[in-house]
Structures are given as C-alpha cells and as structure tokens.
Amino acid sequence: MMDFDLLNEEQKKPVLDTEGAVLLIAGAGSGKTRVLTARIAYLIEEKGVSPSEILAITFTNKAAKEMRERLEGLADMRESWVCTIHSMCVKILRMFAEKRGISPDFSIYSEQERNAVIKQAMAELGYDAEEGLLKSVRYGISEAKMLGLSPAEYARRAGGDRDAVIRVYEAYNARLKRYNALDFDDLLTEARALLNEDAEAREFLAGRFRYIHVDEFQDTNAVQFDIIKLLASEHGNLFVVGDDDQSIYGWRGAKIENILHFERSFPHAKLYKLQRNYRSTGNILALANASISHNSYRKGKELWTEAPAGDKPVFFEANEESGEALYCARILSDLRAGGYRFSDFAVLMRINALTRAYEQEFTKYGIPYKVFGGFRFYERKEIKDVLAYLRVIANPFDGEAVRRIINVPRRGIGEKTLSVLETYAEAEDLSLYDAVLDCESLKLAPAAKAKLKEFGSYIRELVVLSQETPVGDLVRHLVISSGMYEQYSDNSEESVSKRANLDEFQNSVDEYVRLNEGATLSDYLQQITLYSDTDEMDEGDYVTLATIHAVKGLEFRCVFLVGLEENIIPTSRALDDPHSLEEERRLMYVAITRAREKLYLTRSMSRYLYGRREDTVRSRFVEELRGSLELPSPEPRRSSYGSGYGGYGGYGNNYGSSYGGYGRRYGRPERTQTEERKDFPTFGAGRPPVRFGNVGTAPAPAPRRDTSGFDVGVRVRHARFGEGTIVAVRGEARNLIVTVDFPTVGKKELAAALAPLERLE
C-alpha cells in the first residue's frame, strides 16, 4: 500500500491528475521516480485500473528494473509493461512481426554488428572502406534512421552529394532483411511504421494501454515521440516526466523541442514542476543554478533544498594531468579516513580519453575503480564470438553472425572459401547458413567442402539442442564443444584474462536464467543487445570513473568533475553552434547535480592528449561561475583557435608556479600557501600513456601511514607492482615522495603516505 502522505505538495498534484496529457518538469534529485511510482500505485489502488492497462517507458534498463521492483510490492505487475522504449518496440514487433514482413526470431544488431554489415555493403558495391568514406557512410545512415527516413526519402533531402551514402544505405538495408535482423534504429522506425500503417495493431495496443507514462522525456527523438503519440491516440492519457536542463543526447537525435513544445502537440496539457531537491547540499545547488542560468533555451526553474548549505565546491588547477589525478587521490584518502567508502566517489569527465591518468594514479595508490562509458564487457572479442554462436542458433538467417564464427575457433575456412559461399548464397537467394548446408553445390575443393560440412553439422546440432536444453546449459556446452575455451588454454596473461571473461559470461547467463524462469535464448540475447553501461554498476566498493553521459540518473556523496578545459567541455564542435553549446552546459549541470555532499572541480594547465602535450585554457563554464567559486583572475584568450586539440597553445600564463610546480586550489581559504606547497609536490609532466585494467584490486591504502624508514636503498613491496628498491626521496613526513625502481614496471614516483608500500627487511 502506497503511503501518499510521504509526498510533498509539489509531488501530490501530478500524482492525482490522472486524466489527459500531463507534463512534469522534474529537477535533478526532486523525487521524480517516487512520483512516477506513486502515480501508478494511485491508478491501481485508488482508481481501480488494472496493471495490464499501464505502460511505463524508462530511459535505461536500470531505471526500469528499479521502478518494477518498487511497484511489485504494491500489485502484480507481470501484465504491465515497465521497460525501455527499445525493449517495448521489440515486444511490439515480435507480436506483429508478420505484418512487417519479418520473422519473430529476428536478431538485434548492436553498433559493432551494424558497422560490420555496413562494411560488407560497401565491399559489395566496390567501395574501399577507408576511414573517411566509412565515417561519412556510418553518419549518413545513422542520421537517416534517427530521422526515420528511407533511402529514397533521405536522397530527396540530402541532394546529389550523398550518392555513395544512399547506395550503401540501400545495400545495408537489403542485407539486414536477408539476415532477418534489425538494428537499434530499426526497432523504432519499424514500430512507428506498424502503428502508422496498421490500424488493427494500433487500436489493439492503444486500447490496451490506457495510461502511458514516459520518464526522461527530454531525451526522446522525433521517431520515439511519434510512437508515444500513436500509442496515446485512443485516450490521450499521457504522463511525461523530464527536465529540459538535463537534455544531453542531441548528438544522437534527441530533440529538446519535444519537452519545450509539448503543449503544441497536446494543447490542453497540464504543466507541473518539481523544484525541491532531496539530494544535494545548498551550496552545490547554488552552483548548479548559477551554471544553468546561462542557458536561454529552457522552461526555467530553480532548485532549492531544506538541507544545510554544506561545504562549498572547490576549484583546483594542476600543472598537468597526473597532478590533477593525485589531487583527487589525496582528497579521496582524507575523506576515507573520515568514514567515506570508495563507492561514495565518482570522477566524472566529458570524454573517456581522460581516464588514463586516474587509472594510473589510482593503481599506484591501491584505490579500486571501475571505468564506465568506455569499453564494455559485452564488447570484448571472446564474448562477442560466443554471442554470435548464440545468435545463429536463435536465428540461422543471421549472416553477419555466421560470417563471424565460421572460422572461430580456427577450422581452416579462409576468406576465399567464404567469398565463394557468399556469392553462391546471393545468387541462389539463400541465407549464408543455408549455403553452408548446401556446400556440395559449391565450386570448392573437397577439403574445403568437408570443413563447411563439419561446421554446418555442428551448428545444426546446437539448434536441435537449444530446443530442449536450458539456456545456461546450452552456453556451457557451447563454450567447451566449440573449442572457444580451449583456444585460450595457455597461461599467457591475455589467455588467462579471456578465460576469466568466459567464466564471467557463464555466470551472467546463469544469473539471468535464475532470475527469469522460463526465459528463452531469444529473451537472453535481447536483454544483452539492449544492455547499457549503467547495467554493469553494482554494489561493489570501488570508485566510479565515468563519462558524464554514463552516470545520468545516478548520485554520489562526493564528485570530482575533471578536465574543465576549453575544447573538452565545451567540446570544440560546439563553439560555433549556440544550441550545441547550451547542451554542453547542460552536461556541466548534470555533472554538478550528481554530487550530494562534496564537489571538486579540477583542470590541468597542460595535458597530454591525442599523442601530444599542449597548454590548455580554463573552460568558459568555470569562468561563468566566478562569484560562486573562488577563482583567480581570468586567463587571457587568443582571438582564434589553433589546430587540433588545445587550440590556445602558448598563452604564456603559469598559474600555480609558486606552488611547487604542482597546482593551485581555490575555495579553501583556511589553508596557507605553505601548506599547499607541502601537500602537493611536483610530479613530472609528459609521462607516456599507460593503461591498467578496468578494476584496481589492490588493498586500500592506510589513511594515515607512518612514512619513516622509507630511505634510499630500502627494499619495498607494492601491492600491484611487486618488489622494488627506493632510488630517490624528497619531502618529508606525510609529503614524502619516493622513487621506486620495480623490475616489472620500471621506476614509479609514489606518495609514501598513500601508496600500498611495505618495507622489506
């Protein structure tokens, strides 16, 4: 039973307003999930609405899972749909597949499979997949699909200078149809086409879902909004929740106009706002309000809280990126001594290329971390190979998957054989797998035919086995019988890592099967393909290193917002586009509002990025906060940008040079310059980029370490780097810096008070 008295007055109004169109502008941390859940509970408990008549569309799998868990305590929600819009479209298309000329067991292609098929289409047309053309083709197809345009429609809009893109687009679509596959954008466009063109399907779905709820509405694109309007066409009961100030996906087609101009589509819509924040301290909210106030294209609101003002946000400038990362490590260590856990911290950045310095420094000091917004678990080669086997078992028409695994592990089927196979399949209008089964008709040597026969028989056995074997057991059999595990049998570091990844994959399958009784192979593949970065986040005790996009909707006790430099945030692409510049500022706002208690904003005055080191200039978004942050005098700006990253090279300022060459911190007036100079010693610039694993697993450093006895010549053991010898020291006590020569990784400079070092007798 929902206790509606827990809602504040702002929250109660949209909960009770159940009929017609409603727009709720919900500020960061204002309790929108509680409102959504309470509204659905109110419909069920007070209005007598059946759960089967409720549709709730969320932005991420994580959000859908959390909402479903909250609601399951109130009612039997098995008949309601609480899911992402892509998951919803998959359900709709599997229900009405024949009406769109596809088979219900269609494959769903991720970005990697999509790129592979685009390259195949280019080769088919005789185009060389050189990077410039490939990038142009990928962008054009993506743009066309986000806009919901067919090749012919895109040709009319694009004009004659896009002939190559349009030809490849047509060939790409033809291959998808042959493979019985849809890419992410197709899920949306095919669902919209179904609802537009088939009155029976539209009336059935619109009639079933009498109450539609949409979360994160500011991130919908034009096609998604069309789908939502079509589903609401029978009754008009549409409740959308969002925050125009958190619209950060314009680069992938999201239209902020959907939320700003909602009343144009629904003239009688009611508007409510949630402005009370339950997450952050007053000082953090003041900074967020000050930042977003510089945007003009917005509905307008001001976050407030009854929470204490809390600590003021702190701005810090380092001379270079390792100093910036070490600053974060020191603050983190101090707060850990006061009771914070590693999981209370997030280091947020505009681009994931900045993670290197943090991975390097955190590894040195035994700080466990995970990286999000970069290379994901399910994108690793060995995992993609297993998934390709499973895709073929579920959908033998999937030619891209057949092509991927036909020689994995190696079975002597080369590119020449594959080329003959593909030519035959196309000439006979067969799937690639059917061509394998028909290999006796191919003009190939007997040995090549024998290998194809063996492969075809093996896949056929797996297809039969899948009909009677649980998904977890099927995967276990596949990994062993295919030779996938055996091909990584040596004890090299790479093979050990790949075997561990295959084991982890098996664990993930078993966990899915345990939680989803009766789930089919297609069900499992669907949830993997629709997987997102945040699904990997768990309750583990580690620091989150992430792009700002990856943590939208999350919160942390302490946030480090790093890399606040021109051409990073805002990105150089936004400098000549007012709308893109406002989206970059919204990213800044999203990052600030992830922090609950403490916020540190940092930058480096020079940075090694994209293969070279260059001077940088403080982000204009920081300069806009002058008055809300303690900042030094403005940096001089050049009238024009230089080439490549950096742009402002040679501006000649060197803030922080009087601080021991390390950097300068602002917002802590109680600390003297002498204290700053002691605490942050010089570190060398221009270190080569070194990357470690995604998870630092060394023991946590002691918050207050006795640094006596760390002298030149002393042997030490590091939790990650092994044994080494101290070859140089400088500083003293808590600020002692030791240079250790490790046979395995070379010399490392370490802050003795932080590093997990043990003196050896």
Q: Which residues are catalytic?
A: 32-33, 215-216, 246, 594
The three-class DSSP label of residue 676 is helix
339 conformational bin, left if phi > 0, alpha if psi -120 to 50, beta if neither: left
In whole angstroms, give the CA distance from residue 430 to residue 551.
Answer: 44
Residue 713, amino acid: G
- In one-letter notation, the amino acid at residue 171 is A
Rounded to whole angstroms, the Cα distance separating 219 from 228 reads: 13
Cα separation, 260 vs 301, in Å, equals: 13
CB 240 within 8 A of CB 262: yes
- Cβ neighbourhood burial of 717 (10 Å; 0-12, 13-18, 19+): middle
SS in 3 state form for 418-462?
A: HHHHHHHHHHCCCCHHHHHHCHHHCCCCHHHHHHHHHHHHHHHHH
Helices 61-72, 32-45: crossing angle, 10 deg rounding: 40
Residue 600: φ, ψ to 5°: -120, 130
Q: Is 74 helix (H, G, I), strand (E, B) or coil?
A: coil
- Pair 583, 250: CB distance under 8 Å: yes
509-528 b/e with 16+ CB inside 10 Å = b?
A: bbebbeeeeebebbebbbeb
What letter represents residue 635's amino acid?
E
Degrees to nearest 5, angle at CA 295 with 294 and 300: 105
For residue 584, give the amino acid letter. Answer: E
Please name which of 623, 612, 498, 618 lies closest in space to residue 567, comparing C-alpha atoms.
618
CA-nearest of 329, 331, 286 to 310 is 286
Question: In DSSP terms, which residues pair with 524 in a beta bridge?
Answer: none
Q: What are phi and psi of 487, to 5 degrees?
A: -65, -15
Nearest residue to 668 (alpha-carbon basis) of 286, 283, 311, 309: 311
Q: Which two tokens stand for residue 251?
A: 């680069």
* Distant-in-sequence, close-in-space partners of 50: CB < 8 Å, separation ≥ 6: 44, 79
Nearest of 107, 123, 90 to residue 191 by alpha carbon? 90
Residue 479, SS3 per DSSP = helix
* CA 372 to each of CA 212, 375, 532: distance values in angstroms, whole numbers, following the listed order: 31, 8, 10
Q: Report CA dihedral (569, 574, 577, 582) to the nearest 10 degrees.
A: -30
Torsion of CA 499, 504, 508, 510, to 10 degrees: 70
Please name which of 411, 409, 430, 408 lies closest in space to residue 421, comparing C-alpha atoms. Answer: 430
Cis peptide before 570 (omega within 30 of 0): yes
Is there a contact between 433 and 402 (Cβ–Cβ < 8 Å)? yes
What is the identity of the amino acid at 617?
V
The number of angstroms, rounded, from the C-alpha of 285 to the middle of its chain's C-alpha atoms is 25
530: its two tokens:
């629709």
Radius of gyration of the chain (CA): 28
In the chain, the amino acid numbered 633 is S
Residues 267 and 269: their CA atoms lie apart, in Å, by 6
Whether the CA torsion 495, 499, 504, 509 is positive or negative: it is positive
Q: Quick one: 641 exposed, middle or buried, by C-beta within 10 A (0-12, 13-18, 19+)?
A: middle
